[in-house]
Structure 1
Amino acid sequence: MSIEYVWTTPTDERARPLIDDLARDYDERYGDNDGIPSSYELYRYPAELFSPAQGGAFLLLLEDGRTVAGGAYKRVDEVTAEVKRVWTARTDRRRGLSRTVMAALEAEALRVGYSRIELTTGARQPEAHALYLALGYVPQFDLGADFEEIGYLEFTKELQASSAT
């Protein structure tokens, strides 16, 4: 089976599996924050921020027309993009699709002029921590600290033509 790369927007109907599953996952892992479901995070940013016109990008990976993975970035400043919404369908995990998404996002960010990526993940997402460390992202926190006390775990990576993983 071949993977199709689709650069689109969060409002694309094919993005629905990504958004719905991330919402479910955030709510299961983190519950409510001050009475607000953790999935609210997915709606905090307008869809336009992930469009090329606003310095962003939104990628879906499709296999036989089915959304299997995706991710996005939005502009932080002239040199920095923030990666958001990296996801792989439950039935398609352990296939390297998140690595594929990250490589595509990094390459696109570099192509449009970004030289730095930052991202944040939650304390209860060990698979994300492992992925970002394996891809050369530098933690902006003490790896030996209590992740629950830190809460949001920030990572950065300087992009170079040869480093887009």
Structure 2
Amino acid sequence: MAERRFRIISPEAAELQPVLSGLFDEYRQRYGDYFAGHTEDDLPERYVAPEGLFIVLEEAGKIIATGAYKSYRGQTAEIKRIWTDKALRGQGIACCVVRQLEQHAIDAGYREMYLTTGFRQPEAVALYLSLGYQPGFDIHRDFEEYSRAPYDGRLRFTKTLVAPACSARKGVNAHV
């Protein structure tokens, strides 16, 4: 297996655009126009230091996973753009990406992570639960119920970040 490395990247980098387009295509395939017309304060500059971060995981020079965070509120960062190449899903790569983001957020002074995922992403729900994220919704309900009023289709999670007593932080160029 080729070496895998994390790298910080500009959210506007040309090499990232096909990956993001593919991610948004996946959302459209999964949700149709459910979220159409939803506007989000998702300006690229929100994903750069010191308040944000966009990372990619590369293998043999190819982007195989992405993740980002941006400032949400006070000492809370919001996770966004978690994506793994379809051919590599189910191998724990997204878990590594989220953990890398959490460590960078701790280093940047954040104390909590917030995120939303859609009601048709049970694999994302399972990922965040496995990483200790606390759901802001009833995990025992049919997630489709959250697509109807008074809900907005988003499943919310939070997690308190705790800096390890002795950090063995893997750097941006860490092997995975």
TM-score, normalisation: structure 1: 0.89
Distance 1:162 1:31 in 2: 41
Corresponding residue number in structure 2 for 1:161: 163
Amino acid at match of 2:33: D
5+ residue gaps, structure 2, are 147-152, 168-176
Higher-RCO chain (CA-CA 8 Å, sequence separation at least 6): 2
| Separation in structure 2 between the aligned mates of residue 89 and residue 13 of structure 1, nearest angstrom | 18
Given candidates 69, 80, 98, the residue that maps to 2:65 is 69
Query: Alignment partner for residue 47 of structure 1, among 44, 47, 52?
Result: 44
Per-residue deviation, 1:44:
5.1
- The sequence identity of aligned pairs, in percent, is 40
SS at match of 1:26: helix
Q: What residue in structure 2 maps to residue 105 of structure 1?
A: 101
- Gaps (5+ residues) in structure 1? none
What letter is aligned with 2:107?
A: R
Runs of 4+ in 1 over 2 A off after TM superposition: none
* TM-score, reference length from structure 2: 0.84
Larger relative helix fraction:
1
Alpha-carbon shift at residue 143 of structure 1 (Å) = 1.0
Cα RMSD between the aligned structures? 2.2
> 1:15-50 CA distances to partner (integer Å, 9 max, x unpaired)?
22430221111000000137x37xx77x75110010
Matches within 5 A, 1:7-156: 7-33=8-34, 36=36, 45-53=42-50, 55-150=51-146, 151-156=153-158
Distance 1:68 1:22 in 2: 12
Q: How big is the shift at 1:8?
A: 1.2
Give the Cα separation in 2 of the matches to 1:155 and 1:10. 23
Residue by residue over 1:65-98, the C-alpha shift from the partner in whole angstroms, topping out at 9 and shown as x without a partner, is 1000011000012210000000001112122110
